[in-house]
Amino acid sequence: MNARRCVISLVLLLISELVAIQAVSANQALTFGVFSYRPDHILQERYKPLTDYLSRETGLQINLEVLNQENMSRAIAANRLDFFLTNPSHFLLIRSERSLTGVLATLVRRAGDTSTTSLGGVIFTRADRADIAHLADLGDRTIASPGVHFLGGYQAQVLELLDAGIDIRRVNLIRFLGTHDRVVRSVLSGDSDVGFIRTSILEQMAQADPDLFSKVKVLNRQRLAGFPYLVSTRLYPEWPLVALPHVNERTVRKVASAVFAIEPDDEVALAAGISGFSPPADYQAVEYLARTLRVPPYDQAPQLTWVDALHQYRLWVFTILILVTLLLATSLWLGRSRRQLASEQKRLRQLIRGWPQPALLIRDGLFSDTNCASVDLLRYTSSESLVGKDLAVFSPEYQPDGQISRQKMAHMLARVSGGQVEQCEWVLNRSDGTEVWVETTMAPIHAEGEPEGLILCSLYDVTRRKRAEQRQRLAASVFEYAREAIFITNSHGIVVDANDSYLAITGRPRNRAIGRLPPLPVDEGSGIFASARAQGFWSGEFASRRNDGAPIALAVTLSSVRGDHGEVSHFVGIFSDISRIKEQERKLRIMAHYDALTGMPNRVLFADRLQQAMALTKRQSGKLAVVYIDLDEFKPVNDAFGHEAGDQLLVEIATRMRAVLREEDTLARLGGDEFAAIVMNVQDDASLESLLVRLLTRVAEPVWVADHSVEVSASIGYTLFPQIGDLDGDQLLRQADQAMYQAKHQGRNRYVRFVEPSA
């Protein structure tokens, strides 16, 4: 009867889940729940831009609800929430009550220009309480806290005090006030002696009350590098963003893509006081805290001591031995009496069904009974889905070792039936198509000679461990075979390991690479490590040298690796050789800005320098001249002796003119036999005209080309800057060009100043 009720309940639950999913798909309306750790109106104002942003980016209607813990749990149980954001302790409680898909992302909280993915607890009192200065002073004090399920508002502080030998739960009066703001007000008013709040609350409230920090005193203050808030405890991961199981995978991917796309300077991030979201953090530290404090969902777990651990987990350690002994005894009793046989079989099935670890009974190679843990492991709805099938049905065709699953299972069952105990790693297919790694133990539980013996099969989920091993192998493979140089240093910047690409690019043998500094700039190296330590990473380009002294250009990214307590333990650097790219860039710059024949600036670079010169002249209240130079009688030389001779003539004339001009002046070839010059710091007309006369003289001197002495002259036009009116560089060059044509019309081999024609 009870089994029938269980099946009916599971079916009804499945139907409700399907209805909920269809409802969401139909109207595309989703609800985003946020835990109300501060007053509701503050959180509504802060997180409404986030849900509006998600609605825009996903094309779905996403509504915001701010809920306390009790209401959020009720809403989740009723499938009224699709996504929720809460503190890690509350997440563990919800996870224990429902089958969640896991953490979607971890909140990155903003603190001014910095950000953090960690939180902690703050222990504080009024600044004028001279009688409370250390943790030891908290005995018999009245303590205010938002609630027992607040990680940063209660649990982190209690653990910190326990480590200091102080258990406030036994002697102190603790007031649970619901929100952090009420805790602060209670301490400031004198209703409570000490307050427990999470990190960032004082900083947030100080925005409305700038004098707040002068009113409070933080106890047991921790100095944690890179952490931007006042803190009294160790650090834990920030709030997780979680999707409920009924939300379809496509919607989850849309929301995940949207939250990961948030940049720190985005409007939505600034409004919410966050820097975006990071990949899911490891919440094992939170689990350890909850287990240690014995708070939900681990409130029934005993204090973990060696004696208690042996008492609590002795069944896990000796499960197989005890079960084998029990079942062998049962088999003997079954031989004596059918009544005893039936009784013991019933007892065995009850034991298996109540066992917390996945376990199955196998008779004749097929499942004869199973427990709920096995059903949950394979993600089926009832035991009936497994009974009557063999393990190979739920396995892929081949196991990772290359053996056929059905054949390998048959050999194992044969050996177990012969009295052996078999253990191995096995891959199973869940009902949703995902794979799960298990550690399988099979043991016979029948007496020798019994024709229909039972086999106990216990399964232990090792998926997380196998994936970690795969990630480690992948990381090792990337480290070994990457074409980019990868190196690892200790906290002082000394290389402790490097891949082959690092040795090849730097030219260092391994014995000269390990134990030395990486090839960072000597002057900037300490600053690079300091930046990576403070910001988490540094990237940039710089010039270095190989071990043989050859120059090399490197593009480097340096990231910091932090330990369990937030301290920097290592640095990981990646760099690649960009010398060829830099050389190509240099050649392209030359081609874009310099004349290929004379090596002088071209029209593009001339225009840029003219703009800079005009700006400098304005700042210094000086004067400059723009000079346009065109060679006279150049075409006859080019036609008579060929283009090669003409090129030689242009190079020689350009060299002469460059020698006449000063270092601060610019001479450019505009094209053909046309040149332009910028003459800086013109003192008076006489000095400028003297310079132009020297230019004409040098140009007119004979030039030996193609075994002939040839002579050319130049026509020069110039204009001055500044003038009345706002002129740009192109207008100045046109004025000088017009003046040059006037010089040609007046007989050539002369200079003419531009004069604005009268109306």
Element (H, E) at 168: helix 168-171
Residue 382: strand, helix, or coil: coil
Element (H, E) at 205: helix 201-206
User: Distance between CA 196 and CA 180 in Å, rounded?
Assistant: 8
Q: Return the closest-CA partner of residue 125 out of 144, 139, 140.
A: 144
Kindly state the tokens that stand for 29: 């309306």
Helix spans in 382-522 (H) = 405-417, 463-481, 500-506, 510-513
User: Distance between CA 453 and CA 449 in Å, rounded?
Assistant: 9
Residue 668: strand, helix, or coil: strand
User: Distance between CA 338 and CA 357 in Å, rounded?
Assistant: 30
- Residue recorded with tokens 């013996």: 453
Q: Say if CB 156 and CB 162 are below 8 A apart.
A: no
Q: Return the closest-CA partner of residue 81 out of 96, 99, 93, 64.
A: 64
Is there a catalytic annotation at residue 673?
yes
For residue 577, the number of C-alpha atoms closer than 13 Å in the C-beta half-sphere is: 15
The residue ranges of DSSP E strands in 199-247, in sequence order, are 216-219, 236-237, 240-243
Vertex 704: Cα angle to 703 and 710 (nearest 5): 60
Buried b (16+ CB within 10 A) or exposed e, 201-229: bbbbbeeeeeebeeebbbbbebebebbbb
C-alpha R_g of the chain: 40
User: Distance between CA 79 and CA 75 in Å, rounded?
Assistant: 6
The residue ranges of DSSP E strands in 2-113, in sequence order, are 29-35, 61-67, 83-85, 103-111
User: Distance between CA 379 and CA 434 in Å, rounded?
Assistant: 10
User: Distance between CA 535 and CA 530 in Å, rounded?
Assistant: 8
Handedness of CA 420, 423, 427, 431 (dihedral sign): positive
User: Distance between CA 365 and CA 427 in Å, rounded?
Assistant: 18
Please pick, among 369, 577, 632, 673, the residue that the annotation labels catalytic. 673
Partnered with residue 126 across adjacent β-strands are 216
Vertex 196: Cα angle to 190 and 197 (nearest 5): 110
Q: Say if CB 596 and CB 605 are below 8 A apart.
A: no
Q: Say if CB 142 and CB 190 are below 8 A apart.
A: no
Partnered with residue 246 across adjacent β-strands are none
Distances (CA, A) of 546 to 497, 500, 518, 579: 18, 15, 11, 12
Active-site residue set: 673
